Amino acid sequence: MSLRVLVVEDDVAIRRGLESALRDLGASTKAVGTAGEAGRVMGEFDPHVLVVDLNLPDGDGLEVFRAARESNPERDGIVVTGQASLDSAVEALRAGVSDYLLKPLRPAQLEVVFQRLSARRTLESEVDSLRAELQETGKLGDLIGKSPPMVKVFEAIRRVAISNAPVLVTGQSGTGKEVVARTIHRLSRRAAAPFVAFNCAAISPTLIESELFGHERGSFTGADKRRVGYFEEANGGTLLLDEITEMGPELQVKLLRVLEARTLRRVGGTQDLRVDVRLVSATNRDPLEAIRENKLREDLYYRLNVFPIALPPLAERREDIALLAEHFRKQIEEQERAGVQAWDPAALRALEAYPWPGNVRELRNVVHRAHVMTEGDTIRPEVLEELLPDAPRPAAAASATRSTPSRAQASSRAAASSKRARKRS
Amino acid sequence: MSDPVTAGAPDSGLDLKRFFHDLATPLSGASLHLERASRLAARGEDPEEALATARRELHRAFDLFERGRAELLKP
């Protein structure tokens, strides 16, 4: 979206210069020379941003900005002045201007200020649209939920996303810790930079250091070329360190050093490299217990846990189960195109009654399998009976589904399934 | 916050501030139009008008500078 910028400056050369520079930066502009003219064009032009000279021939530029904000508080302002004083700067910032530029103006400075403001407005508009989406559909990015614990999680994500604070996400396996990390990244100023996820438990302890920090050629047997580590790959963006308590104690010390110094050294390297990475860590263990068991260093814990987010198990947000099940059905149907369009209400009740030890990941798998096994356009409770054998069922669902499927039913299902497979291929 | 240039010259402080302010306006114009000329040239467009404006603003700055200097050097 092109920002509408109103330039209010009495000097003709500066006015034209600003207008042309801003237009080349992608803004749609209008330029006037007096406070009176600014007032007259304000309603029709409806600017997002005002670039105002403090001293105008017929008034005070700050008053022009204040009036513009009164009619639309979302408007931003950049003040331009040749008479810098601490008082005027403080007054301008109190009035809500975003930046204060001193004359003689430097075009590069104007560009930096404008780009920063433009990036912030883009981010704010994305957050607003996600907030609207959340209110309407119970979705924040790829996270789904309308239950009170999830609403709290969404609020925490929105707050922390705009900062650079390290986040520690805790929650049982399958609750969506990586999805939370991705959503934080997506809502942050780093969204255009890489998101890199690293599972500390998936790599052998001897290799983790070189995977994370990279290595120089010849630094160990088999290091036949230089390798950039995950930290460098995520530079400018976000790095998720999953299962952080599985990282060895020696490496935890090195990680702490990187977080404190914001520099790293590749294995076998001699140079310290500066990195700008937002760290999100995750664990399915209680971190305090991990500290007691010497699995997690206490100093590292405090460094990682600047902003904690605890994900509730699915069993503690049962009101989200139907919403999630429907979301997954739609997602799977989009990939599979098998014509499965709905849930039998008794099937949803059966899902809601199940304890879900594997949390959202297990629910997704069950929905996928139910989708594959469904004949016709509706997922029925009979299908779930096979998938959730020990599930406590609501009476209505249970009475209709208690018997095991007959051989004839099973063979008809197999035939339907192979027919569908042929149709897809 | 004291201005490093006016610090130590309390009598002429106010005049110097005005002097700088007066100079800052045409220098801003010159800087913006030189940058504009450079962008136009980079796009293969004619930078002449932007360069003429920059030159005019620089003349204005020199003129103001001379007048300000004469004013400051007055006994």
Question: Per residue in A377-399, pLDDT tens?
Answer: 999 999 998 888 665 555 544 44
The domain of A64 spans 4-121
Same domain, A66 and A153: no
Within-domain flag for A34? yes
Q: At what angle do helices A61-71 and A35-45 cross, to 10 degrees?
A: 20
Q: Could you give the 3-state DSSP secondary structure of residue A301?
A: helix
pLDDT band at A416 (very low <50, low <70, confident <90, very high): very low
Which tokens belong to A422? 């042929």
pLDDT for the residue B4 = 35
Within-domain flag for B74? no
Within-domain flag for B25? yes
Within-domain flag for B1? no
Structurally, chain B folds into a number of domains equal to: 1
pLDDT band at A407 (very low <50, low <70, confident <90, very high): very low
How far apart are the C-alpha atoms of A360 and A367, rounded to whole Å? 10
pLDDT for the residue A1 = 67
Residue A175 has pLDDT above 90, yes or no: yes
Residue type, A214: G
Task: Name which of A22-31, A126-135, A263-272, B30-39 the model is least confident about.
Answer: A126-135
> Are A218 and A269 spatial neighbours (Cβ–Cβ below 8 Å)?
no
Within-domain flag for B75? no
> B39 to chain A nearest CA, in Å?
9
Same domain, A166 and A303: yes
The domain of B47 spans 10-69
C-alpha A88 chain-centroid distance:
38
Within-domain flag for B3? no
pLDDT for the residue B14 = 54
How far apart are the C-alpha atoms of A399 and A401, rounded to whole Å? 6
Structurally, chain A folds into a number of domains equal to: 3
**Polymer length in residues for chain A:** 425
Burial of B75 (0-12, 13-18, 19+ CB in 10 A): exposed
| Sequence-ordered list of residues with C-beta below 8 angstroms from that of A345, at least 6 positions apart, any chain | none
Entry pTM: 0.59
> Are A311 and A171 spatial neighbours (Cβ–Cβ below 8 Å)?
yes
Within-domain flag for A336? yes
Strand A278-283, strand A143-144: pairing: unpaired
Domain boundary, last residue among A286, A312, A338: A312
Of all residues in chain A, the percent with pLDDT exceeding 90 is 65
> B54 to chain A nearest CA, in Å?
8
Residue with tokens 């293969």: B44
Within-domain flag for A85? yes
Output the domain CATH number for residue A357.
1.10.8.60
Residue with tokens 């075009």: A107
Comparing CA positions, the residue from A84, A85, A19, A95 lying closest to residue A51 is A19
Same domain, A117 and A185: no
Which tokens belong to A162? 């705009």
C-beta atoms of A13 and B35 within 8 A = no
Same domain, A214 and A354: no
Which residues in chain B touch residue A105, judged by CB atoms under 8 angstroms apart? 28, 31-32
Domain boundary, last residue among A253, A280, A312: A312
Between A352 and A408, where is the model more confident?
Answer: A352
Residue A312 per-residue DSSP state? P
Which tokens belong to B23? 């100079």
ipTM of the complex: 0.80
How far apart are the C-alpha atoms of A219 and A73, rounded to whole Å? 58
* Mean pLDDT value of segment A297-309: 94
Which residues in chain A touch residue B36, judged by CB atoms under 8 angstroms apart? 17, 20-21, 24
Same domain, A297 and A170: yes
Same domain, A143 and A268: yes
Output the domain CATH number for residue A163.
3.40.50.300
Residue A6 has pLDDT above 90, yes or no: yes
Same domain, A181 and A330: no
C-beta atoms of A83 and B35 within 8 A = no
Residue A132 has pLDDT above 80, yes or no: no
Within-domain flag for A131? no
Which tokens belong to A409? 């039913």
